[in-house]
Amino acid sequence: MDIIYLDNNATTRVDQEVVQEMLPYFHELYGNPSSMHSFGGEVGNKIAEAREQTARLLGAEPEEIIFTSCGTESDSTAIWSALQSQPDKKHIVTSRVEHPAVKNLFEHLSQKGYRVTFVPVDAKGRLDRDYFFDSLTEDTALVSLMWANNETGVIFPIQELAEKVKEKGILFHSDAVQAAGKIPVDMNTVQADMLSVSGHKIHAPKGVAALYVRKGTKFSPFLIGGHQERGRRGGTENTAQIIGFGKACELALSRLKSGQQNIRKLRDHLEQSILSGISKVMVNGETGNRLPNTSSISFEFIEGESILLMLDKFGICASSGSACTSGSLEPSHVLRAMGVPYTAAHGSIRFSLSHYTTRKEIDYVLQKLPPIIERLRTMSPFWAEYQKACSVA
Ligand code: PLP
């Protein structure tokens, strides 16, 4: 069975060109980039090139890039560094819709003596600006806000927010793991001090990522060890992965305009056809201000998990907006923060496309999905109740 992969916000296929770029660095060019001999030096030069490629995608200087193991490590490093470098400040600010990589660390810090503000969002997933700006005080050590949401794709106005936060002299970090490579992320125009990106969201392998740290930002390493990454992250470099990541950044930059436009067209075709062909569905989030590849859709009165299982039978991969924890299906914290009604939040599906997605695949999904929804609704007591209420009205 062919796989139709519409779960690219979870992870992406490694690009063939990326694989080719990496291969020599496993078996032939396996030297340690820190070694004095030229065999290692050659690898060091290639890592320098990957650093330049990564910097270019972000409008940064190569020295501002620290390679890490994952987006989660980049987020953690940025947050711990901000706290270490300002030990007297005890207040931190984030949003209610962050990825667990930030959300769970902030919750952990709230148990460790930090005052934490989780800024709410509205029904469209937009940050409550008044609440946000009112929360900032002289005691605020750090603001960490995601650039784009992994579930809904909604984009926060990072440029404007960072500017206002910097006016108050507060450190600003952005989790751009979903944004980088999909929309322009240019550190020349955004005043953030730190920024996280991750390889496996942009067709590089899992296990490699980067943290941007603006020149002059006080930085405290998370992994203390060797002198690698100019003493900012100890540990022998994950050479092949870093080289692959650099190549993926180069490819992402080259596809940023027309490639993302094509993806947007396919996403809109999928979404519009679902909205016009199936009743009681809604798109979650501010539709005009989203990542081009993401669509979070709620199918009312049924469970997202059941939809996923039935799609899976046809080889269609997507994800749901619920997390199955300890046997109870809870809608995601993102949809709950947006106040999406339970009947809709439970039935939410996230489709996320990539440049590998084809029109044929989308049409196949559009052929399989409506009967799945119809079948699940015939089995749903909530749907029956709704139909009854409609007929009485
Ligand atoms: N931040 C966001 C917005 C994400 O979507 C993810 C992964 O889904 C992460 C952070 C974590 O990245 P990684 O899987 O590389 O640790």
User: 262-311: per-residue pLDDT in tens?
Assistant: 999 999 999 999 999 999 999 999 999 999 999 999 999 999 999 999 99
195 touches ligand 1 (CB under 6 Å): no
- The contacts of residue 230 (CB under 8 Å, 6+ apart) are 63
Whether 18 is in the pocket of ligand 1, judged by its Cβ within 6 Å, is no
pTM for the model stands at 0.96
Atom in ligand 1 nearest the alpha carbon of residue 10 = 8
CB 87 within 8 A of CB 70: no
Domain ranges of the chain: 4-11+257-392, 16-255
**Centroid of ligand 1 to alpha carbon of 333 (angstroms):** 15
Average pLDDT over residues 111-140: 98
**What's residue 331's pLDDT?**
85
Q: Which of 70, 249, 317, 324 is catalytic?
A: 324
Amino acid identity of 152? T
Average pLDDT for 312-320: 97
Rounded Cα distance, 107 and 126, in Å: 21
Confirm or reject: Cβ of 209 under 6 Å from ligand 1. Answer: yes
- Annotated catalytic residue 324: yes
**pLDDT score for 325:** 45
Cα of 294 to ligand 1 centre, how many Å? Answer: 15
What does R_g of the chain's alpha carbons equal in angstroms?
A: 22
The residue written with tokens 């320098």 in the block is 48
The predicted model gives 208-233 an average pLDDT of 96
Instruction: Report the pLDDT value the prediction gives residue 322, as an integer from 0 to 100.
Output: 61
Lowest mean pLDDT among 70-74, 90-94, 316-320, 324-328: 324-328
Q: Is the CB of 198 under 6 A from ligand 1?
A: yes
Confidence bin at 389 (pLDDT 50/70/90): confident
Across the range 319-339, mean pLDDT stands at 77
* Contact yes or no for 366/277 (Cβ under 8 A): yes
> Which of the residue ranges 52-61, 209-218, 336-345 would you say has the lowest mean pLDDT?
336-345
Residue of higher predicted confidence among 325 and 378: 378
Q: 10 Å Cβ neighbour count for 354? A: 22
- Is it the case that residue 323 has pLDDT exceeding 70? no
pLDDT for 352 beyond 50: yes
Ligand 1 pocket check for 294: Cβ under 6 Å:
no
CATH T-level assignment (fold) for domain 16-255: Aspartate Aminotransferase; domain 2 (3.40.640)
Predicted pLDDT of residue 326: 44
Task: Tell the CATH topology of 4-11+257-392.
Answer: Aspartate Aminotransferase, domain 1 (3.90.1150)
Query: What atom in ligand 1 is closest to the CA of residue 200?
Result: 15
Please, what is the average pLDDT of the chain? 96
H/E run at residue 126 = none
What is the pLDDT averaged over residues 89-101? 98
pLDDT score of 41 more than 90: yes
Segment 150-192, tens digit of pLDDT? 999 999 999 999 999 999 999 999 999 999 999 999 999 999 9
CA of 199 from ligand 1 middle (Å) equals 10
